[in-house]
Every structure is written in C-alpha cells, then in structure tokens.
Structure 1
C-alpha cells in the first residue's frame, strides 16, 4: 500500500468533494459543458492559467515553475458513458442514461487534486506543469483534435503522463509495463449484398447469409494463420444481422467488428488480409462485399526511460508488472508525438464491493485511491527533480 503523506492527506475532503460533484454530472464526448465549467472554476480559483475551448470542450491549465526549462503534462479524460447507473451511491449520476462507468471522474479529480497540491507548493516547483483535460476519449477521440489544435506545440510539452483506474489491480497499487501496454484499435463495417429469393428455389438467389458465414469463418483464420503466433492480435465480429423471414433467402447481411494489435505492421497486414478475403468471398459466392475500415487509436507504447523513473519513484514493491492489454486508449496519440507513460491505478477492493469491471453499471472505486493517484504523481515529480521535497513529506 502506497502511503499518503501529510501534505497530500490534508486535501482529502476537498478531493472527495470534487469526485462526488463530477460523478453526478456525466456527459458524452465533446458535450462535457458542465464538466468543463466545473474544472475551469477549480483551476481559476487556484490561480492557474486556464485555456478553454480546445477541441470544443477541452481545457489546459498551466502552472509555471521557477526555472521553466522543461514542461511536463498530465492528462485526464472527461467524458462518460451512455450507461444507466445502478449503484446505491448518494452521489450517483443526475443525468439519466449517463454514468461515469469508466472512472474518468476519478482521473479528473486526481489531476485537480494534483493542481491543488502544486498550487499550494508552487515555491517548490522548478519546471512547468500542464494539466490537460481531454474530451471524448470513449469516442470518437479527443486527443488527436487537441494535438491538431496545437496543445503540444503551444505549451512546449516535453513529456506526458496519464493514468486509468483499473479494477483488476488491487487498491493502493499501480500496474505498468515498458513498451506496448495497450493495443492499437480499429473498427470495421461490412455489407454483403446477394440476391433475395424464396427458400424453396435457392438456385434462383444468391444467399448473403451463406456468404457472411463463410466470411466470418475465414476472418477467424487471419490471426491463427496470417499472424506470427508470438504477436498479439484480435479480429472480432461482434454484430451481424440480415434477412427478412425464415423462408426467404437473405439479400443483404450487415456485420460490425473490431481489430486489435500491438504492432502497426501487424495491424496493417490484418487489414490487407481482410480485404483479400472479402474479394474472394465476392467471387466464390457471386455477391458484393463492401468493407469499410476505420482506424481508431494507435497502441499505447510506454517510453522506457519514463518507465524506469516512474518505478523508481513509486517503489518496485508497490508496482505490479502487467501483461499487455487488448483494450485501447487515445492517450497513445500524445505518445506518438512526445515521450509518454500511461499506467493503471488499482481500485479493486472486495471489502468495499469495488469489484465490477469498467463500463459496468455497478462500477465504483474506493475514494481513498484518489489520494494514491495524487501521491504517485507527486513522488514522480520529486524523483525527476521537477518538484523539491517538502519538510513534512
């Protein structure tokens, strides 16, 4: 368990209130207007320079250090999910059909808690700190629009850190790994068009369902037969629909799916193979296959040097080494531009019934883990010399 020092523990009630406030106002991507206004209010009250309306609802806070030769950014995502909350929390969502079921309220709270701490200890801050509050991580993605708006260049950001609460890791611990940590992700839509007909005279029709079945089976062979078995990759078709009734041969079938991989060349080879198979299905089943592929988020690749500093700062005894995860995160867009580190903050607690996965209507985290997140960030800043130690630490 990571110990919370006195100078951070004194913020506990303020931090908890922020978390409770934010949890009650979940909003969807690029529509985080109440959330944005709340964050701006907190930052301005701290005397932090605030830059608003970046990528619509995004916010940047800037706190200058005494030397200002280096700038490090910390990022928190702001959006929520279209999930109806079913917890019994007295601070539950006030927006029907919306919930912070992925812990983004915790991420924002930790970053605001860090801002509060650094504002109170500004005399100990040597380098510049940028607080990035990013919209739309759940989709369609707010990191890339913020970068395109010039966030990294305008504030001369040298490196960036981010975290995600994670119910698979015990509360009071963190989990991280160097190199690939989360997968590159893409999604695809397929439309197979044949020719409808009566089920009793199949030779007069072109069965889109049979073609779809063949395509699904063939796609499942991509990872097993076209990808190095030592590489991680996934092709999943999660939705399929078509047909009119039981005795009519289907003229159209729609399919939707996702692709995940850790290496970009593997990802691209899967896409090529999908296209080749689609062409083969067209020929074999005398139908048309329209494949639309959308690249989503790159892989989260942790910088080796940042990883080493982070583990040294937190202490090896508090850090779990975690296997690469097939989930995706658009924090990766920042990492493609500057060195970055992303880690998981453990929030699992059987005692407090914090056992439900992300995106679940019952997801909760122990409030004390918010203080752990702030403590970890402060320890890192001290370790790399950006923040000088406190006498009461």
Structure 2
C-alpha cells in the first residue's frame, strides 16, 4: 500500500475517533468521509442521506463488487488516554468502526490511483449497532446489480493480522422481544381484587430455558433476559403492568423464527390464564450472517497469497452483525482480522482500533479484486 495514503487514512481514523456519533446521528462522520474522498480521489459519490457510497466505474458488462464499512460509535466513555481521544462525552468508537471506515477509504484511494478490472462500490454504512443501517443500504445491491460483497471486522483475541474465516453462519441472528402485560390495579392489602402480571411474567422467564433447548434444533438457540419491569414501586398498590425484555439468538434463521413463534404462543397463554392483556413487539432485528462458500474460499486464497495466518473458526460468533441483510440479496463474505491475542476486547473502555491492521485490510480487499 502507498505509504502516503496509509499515513493520510490513519490521520483520518484518528479524526473520526475524536468525533464519534451514535447510530442514526452520524452526520459529521459522513460529511468527514465524503469530504476526504472528494479531496483525495476522483470517484463518483452517491449521497443517500444517512449513508453513501463511492463508485469506480470501469465499464458496463463487467463484474460489480462492493465493499462495506460501518461508521457508527457506541455509548461508552473513553477509558484510555489517547491524543485523539473522544471529544463527545459518553460516546466513543469502541467497536472499531472508525478503523473499518478508514480502511475502506484507503482501498478507494488505491483503486482511484491504480485502477481495477471491474466496477467497484465502496459502501459506507450508518447504524450497524442497532441493525438499521444495512436494512436501508441493502437497496444498493439491486440498484447497482452487485454480484458480490465483502467486509471485515476487527477481532481481539486473535493474533494480529491473522484472518479468521468460516463457511456458512459467521454471526448469529438476534432480536429483542418486548413482552408487555397489563392487568388491573388494586390496594396491596387486597391483591385478590386486581390482576397482577408479575406471576405470568415469572412463569414466562421460568419456561424460557426449556423452550429454547429444543432437542430437534440443528443450531444453537439462546435466550437472555435483559430487563424486567413490574409495577411502579409503590408499596400500597399492587402491580398492574409489567414488561419483560428478552434477547434471542440463533445460528439458523428458520429455527430462530420458530423459537420466536413458540415464545409468543407461550407468553400469550400465560397472560390469558391470569386474565391479562398482552402486547409483543420487536427491536434490533439482526438476520443470520451466512457466508457464501465460494466467497470465503476467495478470502482464504488471498490471505494465504499475502502470507497471512488463516484461522478456521469452528462456529459462528454469537454476537450479531447486520451484514447479513446484504447476504440475503447477493453472495459475499464477512471475515475477521485479528487485533492481537491480548488486545482489549471491543465494547470495552480500554479498546482502540489498531492502526496496523488497516494495511492488512487493504491487502485483503485488493486481493479480492483479482
């Protein structure tokens, strides 16, 4: 990689790190990235509001390949002393999306300067953390007739620069279920005259483990209670409203959907048995991210050609990734690049994206163009 380009994108990464923005609020981040690309490349820029993509068009009839990077930050304070530390209190780039975006900018610069034998689309995506970004951006797959799409995610615990791959499910699908039950209030001294949702909610929680552990399941299914709210905390009034929040994860999309239907049915029965009204809604829906084997084989080949260690993952990550929305529309692969075996984990205050793997990512992306 051109060393001047590398120096510039590292400086860009630090600038992005200084001004992190939460999902759906990434206005400055997007403007910074577009401004940098306009200054340093001649690529066509397609601004789509909350997101954008840059285009290198060779000619019609050639393969259309896309590369995607996310650019949102998370709610977390900067827990380490950095010269480019976050200037937005309580918000920080602790998942490395600043590095993902910088690496994709670096690829765009290299392609702009050196050319390529196909049409390339550099997709800069918002709101990955809340599963809304790719759901909006995926329309570009059909609009530009994308044949294949790639992305990487940094990963702590793996040797620095090592490439981790897996065929099929690379990230579990997940969704947050919100179960709201409503009864009727009464004085705490006369609970028999009211309808208290606490007991039905407790029964739902108790039955979650059994309903999740289906012997017939081919993939892993998980349920995690993330919140319970019952009543208003007034000692003279029996609870009449309650809310249960559960995150469900699944390795296989169809099995995850089946689990959700079973929990809906079970919760509705428990509510009905106590004469309660029930409402069930969902948030943060991530599909299963399922890699195409031919695309993963390309990743393996490119990594080996570049002398990088290839690590075959035995199972997909339980954490979710909205890259799966793209893979529902076209083939492609998400792979991982190691931050270092002892590098702080993502989503911790001590984490910072290692600049050294930007060049590794660019090598991988450039190799995937051949």
TM range (shorter): over 0.9
Instruction: Give the corresponding residue for 1:50.
Output: 45
CA contact (8 A) 2:131 2:284 kept: no
How big is the shift at 1:9?
A: 4.5
Q: Is the counterpart of residue 110 in structure 1 residue 98 in structure 2?
A: no
- Rounded to whole Å, the distance in 2 between the matches of 1:284 and 1:368 is 59
Sort the Cα spacing of 1:276 and 1:60 in 2 relative to 1 into closer, same or farther, 3 A. same
- The correspondence for 1:141, drawn from 132, 136, 143, is 132
Instruction: Give the corresponding residue for 2:165.
Output: 176
Sort the Cα spacing of 1:81 and 1:294 in 2 relative to 1 into closer, same or farther, 3 A. closer
Deviations along 1:222-243, one digit per CA (max 9) or x if unpaired, are 112x363542111222101122
Sort the Cα spacing of 1:144 and 1:227 in 2 relative to 1 into closer, same or farther, 3 A. farther
Q: How many residue pairs align between the two structures?
A: 365
How big is the shift at 1:154?
A: 3.2
RMSD of the TM alignment (CA)? 2.0
Question: Helix, strand or coil for the counterpart of 2:352?
Answer: coil
Instruction: Give the corresponding residue for 2:274.
Output: 285
How big is the shift at 1:203?
A: 2.7
How big is the shift at 1:50?
A: 0.9
- The correspondence for 1:61, drawn from 29, 49, 54, is 54
Question: Helix, strand or coil for the counterpart of 2:23?
Answer: coil
TM-score (norm 1): 0.87
> What does residue range 248-259 of structure 1 map to in structure 2 within 5 Å?
248-259=237-248
How big is the shift at 1:81?
A: 1.2
How big is the shift at 1:93?
A: 1.1
CA contact (8 A) 2:95 2:346 kept: yes
- Rounded to whole Å, the distance in 2 between the matches of 1:367 and 1:286 is 58
- The correspondence for 2:75, drawn from 76, 79, 82, is 82
How big is the shift at 1:248?
A: 4.2
- The correspondence for 1:265, drawn from 247, 254, 257, is 254
Deviations along 1:67-123, one digit per CA (max 9) or x if unpaired, are 86111100001111122222211101122221111111000000011112222212x
Question: Helix, strand or coil for the counterpart of 2:286?
Answer: coil
- Rounded to whole Å, the distance in 2 between the matches of 1:268 and 1:93 is 39
Question: Helix, strand or coil for the counterpart of 1:342?
Answer: strand
Unaligned runs of at least 5 residues, structure 1:
1-6, 386-393
Instruction: Give the corresponding residue for 2:180.
Output: 191
Sort the Cα spacing of 1:156 and 1:284 in 2 relative to 1 into closer, same or farther, 3 A. closer
Sort the Cα spacing of 1:108 and 1:344 in 2 relative to 1 into closer, same or farther, 3 A. same
Sort the Cα spacing of 1:144 and 1:229 in 2 relative to 1 into closer, same or farther, 3 A. closer
Q: Is the counterpart of residue 37 in structure 1 residue 25 in structure 2?
A: no
Instruction: Give the corresponding residue for 2:338.
Output: 346
- Rounded to whole Å, the distance in 2 between the matches of 1:34 and 1:200 is 56
TM-score (norm 2): 0.92
- The correspondence for 2:10, drawn from 16, 21, 27, is 16
Sort the Cα spacing of 1:247 and 1:215 in 2 relative to 1 into closer, same or farther, 3 A. farther
Question: Helix, strand or coil for the counterpart of 1:371?
Answer: helix
- Rounded to whole Å, the distance in 1 between the matches of 2:11 and 2:191 is 66
CA contact (8 A) 1:349 1:366 kept: no
CA contact (8 A) 1:314 1:380 kept: no
Question: Helix, strand or coil for the counterpart of 1:197?
Answer: coil
- Rounded to whole Å, the distance in 2 between the matches of 1:12 and 1:260 is 38
CA contact (8 A) 1:67 1:127 kept: no
- Rounded to whole Å, the distance in 1 between the matches of 2:283 and 2:262 is 15
Instruction: Give the corresponding residue for 2:351.
Output: 363
Sort the Cα spacing of 1:107 and 1:8 in 2 relative to 1 into closer, same or farther, 3 A. same
